[in-house]
């Protein structure tokens, strides 16, 4: 699994870590049950704050892709399928794009809702 | 150069002195306490229930000499592999402690004894005491071998055709992958079963149980690892211990390539971390994807890992950056 971060990017570093993991799931590089590298190790290797990595892992947990348990680390859940990770990745990209255009949460949700209704 | 010879001298002393000391302790203890020991050793724990003390002396000396010869041969075979020399020292230290422990427990059980039955085995001969002690001894030997000699810094960039990743100017990347060796795990399970069998039904001494348990623990630790590639280099880490099993610093890497491991390229039983005259690394699978690093000292570092092409690309990209920065610094 390749974790990439660009400190010059406008996207928060934690989100970039989460995006890397989503891409790895979507590409089939990692599968359910596999452990993510410890946050401390990722932080040291990439020269970023430990809490930044943890924020990325927590985002993945909120998306249902990762199970975070003390002493066990971050383990990919059975929901961590390539399809679900792909959707989560595109959703994150959509949110970033919306933010850059000044759109709020309700605006994006409205757009998604109407897209569902049209489909 | 003097530093290198100094390091070699230190490593030879650290590796070979323990068996000599074990032999000396065997002779010294038996000679000093001869007047307080019965004619026969009672409760030797071996095939025979009683044997002469001369047999214990000969056994202790023969095992000490064999451990010494083992150390000399492997030091010669692995004379260019500093990482591998640490394992040799660990074996001679552990072997020496076992020899001394065996002799001492017999002496303790027979000291001032009028006749059979002998005293029960002391608590410290239990595998639960022996195994942790041996683990500590191995760690101390590891430390006593001193730091690895400095590897020469590699010069030049990887070839234009070598795999690379597209990273923007300030972008940082990390490749991490957990690898399992089914054969290593099967080997660990086998040794664990043998340990339990030996402890419950076996006629062997505590030495056999302790050795089997130690081999099982080492095999288990070697069967599972995380491969980490970052701007510092390539490291194979034992996840539970969080310790590097083997690794290559980026500054010593000439070029990285990805390929497929030919099962005949390594000895059949070589799994886990390995150190050989021309190669070192970590093998989890018989064949399959392999990351191959060419090092500045002419040796190769090999790791079997899925996604080896990505890992090789990251190493070469990091090398390009590192050498470009070094070039800028020289200007």
Q: Please identify which residue in the block is written with the tokens 């490291």.
A: B235
The DSSP H or E segment spanning B258 is: strand B253-261
Give the three-class secondary structure for B312.
helix
d(CA B194, CA A89): 49
Phi, psi of B227, deg, nearest 5: -95, 125
In the predicted model, what is the mean pLDDT of chain B? 87
User: B135 to each of A96, B25, B127, B129, B211, how far by Cα in Å?
Assistant: 52, 21, 12, 10, 11
Q: Which residues of B touch A (CB under 8 A)?
A: 165, 167-178, 226, 228, 230-232, 237, 239, 242, 306-307, 310, 314
Low-confidence winner among B23-32, B78-87, B274-283 (lowest mean pLDDT): B78-87
Position with higher pLDDT, B114 vs A76: A76
Residue B47 has pLDDT above 60, yes or no: no
Q: Please identify which residue in the block is written with the tokens 């961590």.
A: A80
Substitution target in B176, B306, B318 with the highest count of A β-carbons within 10 Å is B176
Query: Which residues does chain A have within 8 Å of residue B168's beta carbon, measured at their own beta carbons?
Result: 6, 8
In DSSP notation, B146-214 reads: -SPPPPPPP-SPPPTTS------TT-EEEEEEEEE-HHHHHHHHHHHHHHHHHHHT--S-HHHHHHHHH
pLDDT score recorded for residue B43: 64
Q: State pLDDT tens for residues B56-104.
A: 999 999 999 999 999 999 998 887 777 778 889 999 999 999 999 999 9
pLDDT score recorded for residue B205: 65
Highest mean pLDDT among A19-23, A92-96, B21-25, B130-134: B21-25
**What residues contact residue B31 under an 8 Å CB cut-off, 6+ apart?**
none
Give the three-class secondary structure for A6.
coil
> Binning pLDDT at 50, 70 and 90, where does residue B290 land?
very high
Query: Which residues does chain A have within 8 Å of residue B310's beta carbon, measured at their own beta carbons?
Result: 2
DSSP strand pairing (B272-275 vs B243-249): unpaired
Among candidates B300, B226, B297, B298, which has minimal Cα distance to B259? B300
Phi, psi of B291, deg, nearest 5: -95, 125
Q: Is A31 on the interface with B (CB under 8 A)?
A: no
pLDDT score recorded for residue B266: 85
Substitution target in B171, B172, B236, B242 with the highest count of A β-carbons within 10 Å is B172
d(CA B328, CA B322): 10
Question: Under an 8 A CB cutoff, do A8 and B170 touch?
Answer: yes
pLDDT score recorded for residue B2: 44
pLDDT score recorded for residue A95: 86
Residue B118 has pLDDT above 80, yes or no: no
Highest mean pLDDT among B7-11, B79-83, B127-131, B207-211: B7-11
Q: Using a pLDDT cut of 90, give the percent of chain A over it.
A: 43
Q: Taking residues B277-282, report their average pLDDT.
A: 88
Q: Is B9 exposed, middle or buried (0-12, 13-18, 19+ CB in 10 A)?
A: exposed
Residue A8 has pLDDT above 80, yes or no: yes
Residue B50 has pLDDT above 80, yes or no: no
Residue B311 CB neighbour total at 10 angstroms: 28
pLDDT score recorded for residue B78: 80
d(CA B273, CA B219): 10
Q: Using a pLDDT cut of 70, give the percent of chain B over it.
A: 91
Q: Which of B167, B178, B228 sits opposite A34 (nearest CB)?
A: B178
Residue A80 has pLDDT above 60, yes or no: yes
How far away is chain A from the Cα of B270, in angstroms, using its nearest Cα?
25
Query: Which residues does chain A have within 8 Å of residue B175's beta carbon, measured at their own beta carbons?
Result: 1-3
d(CA B207, CA B127): 8
Angle at B300 between CA B295 and CA B306, to 5 degrees: 110
Q: Is A68 on the interface with B (CB under 8 A)?
A: no
Question: Under an 8 A CB cutoff, do A3 and B176 touch?
Answer: yes
Q: Taking residues B167-194, report their average pLDDT.
A: 91
pLDDT score recorded for residue A114: 87
> Binning pLDDT at 50, 70 and 90, where does residue B156 land?
confident
Q: Which of A3, A35, A36 sits opposite B173 (nearest CB)?
A: A3
Query: Which residues does chain A have within 8 Å of residue B167's beta carbon, measured at their own beta carbons?
Result: 4
Position with higher pLDDT, B270 vs A61: A61
């Amino acid at each position: 699994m390749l974790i990439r971060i660009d400190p010059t990017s406008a996207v928060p570093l934690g989100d970039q870590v989460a995006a890397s993991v989503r891409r790895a799931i979507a590409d089939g590089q990692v599968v359910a049950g596999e452990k993510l590298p410890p946050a401390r190790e990722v932080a040291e290797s990439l020269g970023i704050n430990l809490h930044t990595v943890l924020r990325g892992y927590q985002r993945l947990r909120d998306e249902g892709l990762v199970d975070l348990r003390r002493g066990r680390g971050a383990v990919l859940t059975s929901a961590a399928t390539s399809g679900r990770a792909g959707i989560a990745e595109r959703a994150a990209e959509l949110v970033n794009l919306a933010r850059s255009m000044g759109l709020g949460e309700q605006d994006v949700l409205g757009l998604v809702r109407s897209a569902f209704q049209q489909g | 150069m003097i530093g290198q010879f100094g390091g070699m001298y230190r490593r030879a002393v650290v590796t070979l002195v323990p068996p000599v000391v074990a032999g000396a302790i065997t002779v010294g203890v038996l000679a000093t306490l001869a007047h307080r020991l019965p004619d026969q050793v009672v409760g030797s724990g071996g095939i025979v229930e009683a044997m002469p003390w001369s047999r214990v002396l000969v056994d202790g000396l023969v095992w000490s000499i064999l451990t010494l010869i083992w150390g000399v041969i492997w030091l010669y075979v692995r004379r260019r592999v500093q990482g591998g020399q640490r394992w040799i020292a660990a074996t001679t230290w552990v072997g020496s402690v076992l020899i001394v422990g065996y002799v001492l427990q017999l002496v303790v059980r027979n000291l001032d004894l009028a006749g059979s039955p002998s005293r029960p085995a002391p608590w410290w001969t239990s595998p639960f005491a022996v195994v942790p002690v041996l683990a500590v001894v191995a760690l101390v030997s590891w430390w006593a071998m001193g730091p690895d000699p400095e590897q020469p810094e590699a010069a030049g960039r990887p070839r234009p055709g070598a795999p690379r990743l597209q990273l923007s100017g300030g972008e940082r990347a990390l490749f991490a992958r957990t690898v399992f060796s089914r054969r290593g795990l099967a080997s660990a399970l086998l040794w664990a079963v043998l340990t339990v069998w030996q402890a419950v039904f076996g006629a062997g001494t505590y030495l056999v149980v302790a050795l089997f348990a130690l081999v099982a623990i080492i095999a288990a630790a070697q069967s599972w690892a995380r491969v980490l590639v970052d701007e510092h280099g390539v490291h194979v880490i034992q996840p539970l211990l969080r310790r590097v099993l083997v690794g290559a610093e980026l500054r010593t890497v000439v070029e990285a390539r990805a390929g497929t491991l030919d099962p005949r390229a390594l000895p059949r039983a070589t799994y886990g971390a390995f150190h050989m005259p021309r190669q070192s690394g970590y093998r989890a699978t018989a064949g399959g994807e392999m990351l191959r690093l060419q090092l500045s000292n002419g040796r190769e570092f090999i790791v079997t890992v899925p996604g080896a092409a990505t890992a090789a690309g990251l190493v070469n990209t990091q090398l390009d950056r590192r050498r470009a920065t070094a070039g800028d610094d020289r200007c």
